[in-house]
Every structure is written in C-alpha cells, then in structure tokens.
Structure 1
C-alpha cells in the first residue's frame, strides 16, 4: 500500500523508460545508420538522433515490441534482427539542464535490416563513418589518427596520470606499435569524449582539459548526435563487429542471393578493415556458411560471378558459426 509520502514524491525522483534503436544496414559498401532529425535542447541546434521514444506499458507488451513500433512509426522501416544492447541511465545523458524533468533511462537495441531506402520524412540513412571517421581503415590507416588525434591525446595525457592515460590511448588507437582492435569502437569514442575532442563534451557542459581544441575544430572529430546517441551508436557498432566473428549476423543485411565478393565487401564495410580475398573465400566456403544457388550474375560487369545463399543448417551444426576475420589483411583486391 503506497504511503502518502510515496504518492506525493517530487517529479525529480521520477524515472521514464525510453527506447533507442541503433539500426544498421550496408549499402554501396558503406555501413549506414538510421537517424531522425530532432530539435535540439534550448540554445542548441537540431542534430541527428537515433530513433527513440518512451516505452508505453499499456500499449507495448514487451520492450522489443515497443521498439519495433516506434521505429516503424517514426521512419516506416520494418526491423529484422533485434537484440538488446545496454541500459543507458547516466545523469545528464538525456536532460541537459537541471530542473527540466524526470530522469530518462533508455534501453538501447541493435537492429539490422536489408532495407536502405528512405522511409518517412523524419527518417534517413547516414554513413556510420560520418560520426566515427577514424574507424574506416579499408584503404589505409586514417591520416587523422596521427595528424590530429595522437597530438591531442599526448597533450591530454600530460594533464593527468600520464602513464595510465597514454596506455589507454595506445590500447585504443594502436599507438607505439600496438594492434588496432576494430571492436573497441566504444572505448575510442569515450576516450575522444573524455579528452575534450568530441563536440558533445562542450555541449554537455563537461569540464574541458587545456588540450581541448576550439569549438570549430571539434567538428573535425566526427559529427555530434543528440543526447548520448553517438555513444549508443558506438556501443552498437562495437557489438556488431564482435558478433560478426561468432554469429552469422552479416546475412541479416545481405540479399537472399549474393556473390562471395558482395559478402566480403559487406564484412569489410562493417569491420572497417580490408581482408585478404583468397583467405576470406576459403574460410567462408570451408565453414559451411554458404551454399551455391546454381546461378550467376553479371551485375558487376566482366565475367558472370557465381551466386551463393546463406546455409541456415549451420546454425544447428556449430555453436559459433560466425565469419571469422582472417589474420592476413591486404589492400583492395
């Protein structure tokens, strides 16, 4: 039985459950994220956001049903594969100024779809690399890492626990001969944010280190998103890159029939690294992930290429039927 004190609890103690969708597809060899345009907070310009909205327990039997409904309502995109990512509830993540209302705790989801056509006017597709330009290594190590990011992180490391900060930077960005781990998307973004390089750091009113760039230079470190949505997107991309290796999720964004080159380019688009062509084909064919359709296509020009389809029986045959990324990498083949 609620007490009178419970019934009159102040609004600032109220929590609203929100839903956020990180919807990914691949088109034209580019990982695309579904965004909506929302007005910013007071004195802030409109920015891209992930589809989001409140969970309505009266209308939504489950959180996932609520997510699918709100994405379809906002963008007309029907979701395929969906999995829960994380619950985002840090103070200040959604309400940017004191006294604006209750705390919003959002349940983030990763969703995959084959559809990349624009839906409603409020929904559109953007390249993931517009928000994380340092993550695309397919042609070469991005020049901005050594020209822009490293000097700023070196200066930031000098302003605190030098060794710990620099060790963290090296682990995230592969400095000083360390290996680049494509899965550390979130860790790299959080480092960029903490070092004052992200536009969101200044917008959120966080204390900026002396090494932080001027506001006009922060835009060079990727486009900002509303609230903490770039952090949610980083979480989703890191999860997706990791999951490629032990679950066949890549086929959720593939057409029913595809060539092995189509499959390789899709894996490369998501992982951000170029793969060795022959090693990749050998791995895919011997793993039982695909089977021949008996058809060929000449859509890429030149000699017709053999078409394949996902072999669903592999889900019953192996516990972790993912697309392992070959250790040997190369330039474009």
Structure 2
C-alpha cells in the first residue's frame, strides 16, 4: 500500500476520484478499527467502493476471494485491469459459507457501510510484486471509472468468475450460468438415457452394470475421503499439523498420493471381483457414464441451490461429454429389404 501510494503521488496521470489508504489496527480484536472508521469517520459516507487487502504470509499468488455484494462491474474491473489475474468464485462461496473460521474487514465494510468491494488475499512472501502490479492497475481503473461515482446504480445480480491458468479471467452473469448449467445437465441426461436404453433387449443388462459402476464410483470417493482424513488425523497426532503450510507441493504429495492409491485399490478390487471377464472398452465406457451421471446430478443440485460454483461441475460434464461425442463411432447398417435402419455402437458390445 505504501509503494502504491508512493507511485500514485508521483504520477502525472490525473485521477477522477479520490483514493483513501486505510491502515487498520485491532483486526484480530473483532475488527474494531475498520468498524470504527466505516461507522464514525466523516469520510465514510463518501466511499463508493473498496479493495480489502489481506496477507497470509505463506507464499503463492494473490487471490481475489470476494467481490460485491453483487456489483458485477467490480469483477469486470478486475478482468480488464489486472495484469496477473488469479480469481475464483469458488473461493468466495467457500469463504462466505462459514466453513473457514476467519473474518476480514470486508464483512465490516459490506454489512455496516453497505459499500461494495473486492477482497484480495495476498500470499505475501512470493507475490508482493505481483499484487502491487494488480492492485495498482485495478485501483487506477476504478479511480478513473465513471461507474464509481454512481456505483449503487450497477447492483444487478451475481457473477460467475474464474481464471484460466492465470492468463485471463472468464466472467459472465450468474443467470447465464444457470441456463448453461441446466442445458449441460439435460444434454448429459439425454445422452445417458439414450445410450443405456438402447437396444431395448439389453436395457436391463446395461442398467444393472451402470448402477453397479455408479455405486462403486461413489464408494471409491468415500473411501478416498476417509483415507485423506485418516492421514490428516495421523499428521495431527504426531504433532505435525500444518507442517506443509508453507510448502504446497508437500501437501499434494502427502494427501494426493493417499487419495490416488485408494482410488486405484478400490477400482482394482472392483475389476477383480465384479468384472472378471468384461471387455475393457465396455468397462471404461460404463464407468465414464457413471461418473458423468454423478457430476450431472451434482451440477443440477448445486445450480438449484443458486451457487455460482456449479460452473466446475458444468466444465467436468460438458468437456468430457463433448470429447466423447466427437470420438464416438457408430456403425450403421441399412437393411435394404426390410427398409429398416439399425445401429451398432461400441458400448453395446461387452
């Protein structure tokens, strides 16, 4: 903040709006300083938007955790201006759910000042330079924006937003996301129903194998979750809690290998006891369909709950299904004498 203040003070570029730099104390004591400022200071009523900065001090990228409430123009400002974008609506919804036992000045400005803003978590050790670039660019954009003067006129709905490999941010209205999600889920259900119920003579056999694969897939996920939790308990028991906190790749190795090993074990046992003489192509297709059904159901339910994070399920359904449809081959034979058309698909052969 000091460096940004120094840079702005030396810049010849005029700003359309004033900028207040607020250095709060007493954050860990129920956020007293921010509460005192937003409820009592004479400048508080003139504030139209804020950028709330946090520092975890563990290394990594700066991440935009929260925006709003509503005010999609704030997300658009970040999309347009940020030089090193790293943002996700998933982080926002997880933080707002209360699962993470933490609080920030963002809530104080939002609830007591009714001011829209952006909450940026600076993982300080590595990214001080990167967040400086980002915040300076976004701050200049906001300070020269016509929307800032009438920010309350632009409150209309939520936004789905996420970055793609830190290269750029995808953002679109939540109502558009809802339509996309339901269309994707409906397409997947249509694909599965058409596939499983054709041909009719094998429908019961197909459904039996499908639901077996569905149950085994869910069981493998539950076993994986239990394994990861057991590893976490073991790490805590030996007094090494959060020992991986400053080294993200250690956590991936510690928990990722346990998760993968459990998944492989469950599916290996399933193949040995449930699918001894089953064609591998048919087996792969069956488990693909089971996973597709699980994510499609999750997509429909999360969208119904009104969560923007449903976009993850949408991507996990849309792209695999699209790839499957593109590479899928059907062999069509025409019975000239009978005048009928019949099709034989690779997934019908076991």
Of Structure 1 and Structure 2, the greater strand share is in: 1
The TM-score by the shorter chain falls in which range?
A: under 0.3
Structure with greater Cα Rg = 2
Of Structure 1 and Structure 2, the greater helix share is in: 2
Relative to the length of structure 2, the TM-score reads 0.24
